[in-house]
Chains A and B, each alone.
Chain A
Amino acid sequence: MNRVKDFFVRAGWMVLPFLVVAIIWETLARSGIYPPKLFPSLVTVFEALVRLVVSGALWTNTQGTLVRLVLGFALAGVVGVLLGIAMGRYRVVEDVFLPIVSIGYPIPGLAYAPLFVLWFGLGDLPAVLLVGLASSFSVTINTWKGVKAVREIWLRAAQAMGANDRQIFLQVSLPGALPYIFTGLRLGLAQAWRILVAVEMITAVLHGLGWMIFGAQEFLNTDVMLVGIATIGAIGLLLEKQVFARLEAHTIVRWGMMSA
């Protein structure tokens, strides 16, 4: 019985902040301070959601965005982890790439967008590449830090047990760096999201949530814009909880290297 109660209490606390925001929103929308066209009521937004789901437009746009996100992020993940590892392991690679990565890290990825459009044209290619570029920096830097931060005592223990360089690297450095690598991927994914929505507005992709939001501006479809924004939030949360939280629960949390 207590369990059931606990569940409802926890669910209540989770819903509460959203409820507060919704009430404030609705009060403002109905107060008449702003024209309903610019500040739609939640009912209108919900209707727009139903409309977009039924017509399939929401799915088409979400799909377009997700494909770009996955491709771009995968690119960043692979390149970033490999480069970060190489930097952590080989002094030469570190000397060459650390300055480049350090300078590149604080530059907003969006700053490259006009350049990429000129180089690669409009559409998916520049969008994917920009996403990849923007998210690769945090993956690289964190992976590098992780390899560097592997405990000396693990390396010594492995050495004492006769592990050669390759074995130490695969069996100790890599798993030891995993908490940092996950942090890098998490940050990278957040950056990928941020830039992707903006990039879609610039590179004129065929379908995408960013494009949907941008396009709705022309017709003052604020309800559609809000549906797009909410969808982005929902997918972000889903990726975080279903992908990252699970991966971590299976590895570093299970190993006690990070508390749940």
Chain B
Amino acid sequence: MAQSIEVRNITFEYSGEKGTVLAIDDVSFSVAQSEFLCVLGPSGCGKTTILNMLAGFLKPTEGTILIGGKPVVGAGQDRGVVFQDFAQLFPWRTARRNVEFGLEMRCVPESERRESSTRFLKLVRLEKFADSFPHQLSGGMQQRVAIARALAYNPGVLLMDEPFAALDAMTRDEMQKQLTEVWQETKKTVVYITHNVAEAVYLADQVLVLAAHPGTVKAGLRLDLPRPRDPLSAEFVATQRHLLGLLQH
């Protein structure tokens, strides 16, 4: 079951060389069940910090984060995380065994794990590469394995930190299309971090535009463009222009 996310007035401070630095200042937003949120912002706006707090790797200095109505305490299987770095996969495990990791941690029996890994590898169209090791796969394929891995133990929320940023443009377009399909199929609540405006317009139901130093919410925007979205349509381009304007002012 997908879960809603409620972020209330979070701030995040870390101690730098010149005393404490305020990285995130009073950020609030909410994501409904099965909704796709893109957090859009320039580098240095703390978007990854926000994701790390959602994932439970970092604790907000102030404020609360509720997932499915429950406050976040540390990392947990109610959330799946996909990072930008291809190296996130375990090189000593095949694609299949990577995907099964979360279920293995829960001591799910092998037949059930197999069923799940088969299903999710198929969902990301990699069933033929189940027995390949990560270094034998291309960057795009590795990121798809990472998505399957984050979905396989059935979390309610999928957190993605610029997962396609290191891919070439053509592969990225294909990945975005596939991700939309995966999301429509699994109906997860998604929080997707990006600095790419077109990507946000292509993927999101809701875009959160952040400003930098410190990270604050500049604007929130709902996108009602019909799916699948056409990046060449007039309304797509208009939305893109609007978001670019918001980012620059």
A-B CB proximity, top 9 nearest: A256-B135, A161-B102, A162-B77, A160-B81, A175-B92, A159-B75, A255-B91, A163-B105, A255-B92
Contact of B101 among A153, A161, A256 (CB under 8 A): A161
Q: B residues within 8 A CB of A156?
A: 55, 57, 75, 81, 83
Contact of A160 among B79, B91, B136 (CB under 8 A): B79
Total chain A interface residues with beta-carbon distance under 8 A: 24
CB<8 Å pairs between A and B, sample of 16: A153-B87, A153-B88, A154-B87, A154-B90, A156-B57, A158-B105, A161-B102, A161-B149, A161-B150, A162-B102, A162-B153, A171-B101, A172-B90, A176-B90, A255-B91, A255-B133
**CA A159 – CA B135 in complex, angstroms?**
22
Q: In the complex, which residue of chain B has the Cβ closest to the Cβ of A174?
A: B92
Q: Are B91 and A157 in contact (CB under 8 A)?
A: no
Q: Are B149 and A178 in contact (CB under 8 A)?
A: no
Does chain A have a CB within 8 A of B106?
yes
Which residues of A are in contact with B by a Cβ distance under 8 Å? 151, 153-154, 156-164, 167, 171-172, 175-176, 178, 251-252, 254-257
**CA A161 – CA B134 in complex, angstroms?**
18
Q: Are B102 and A154 in contact (CB under 8 A)?
A: no
Total chain B interface residues with beta-carbon distance under 8 A: 28
Q: In the complex, which residue of chain B has the Cβ closest to the Cβ of A160?
A: B81
Q: B residues within 8 A CB of A172?
A: 90
**CA A164 – CA B75 in complex, angstroms?**
10
Q: Are B57 and A159 in contact (CB under 8 A)?
A: yes
Q: B residues within 8 A CB of A255?
A: 91-92, 133, 135
**CA A97 – CA B83 in complex, angstroms?**
36
Chain A nearest CB, measured from B86 CB (Å): 10
Q: A residues within 8 A CB of B91?
A: 255-257
Does chain A have a CB within 8 A of B80?
yes
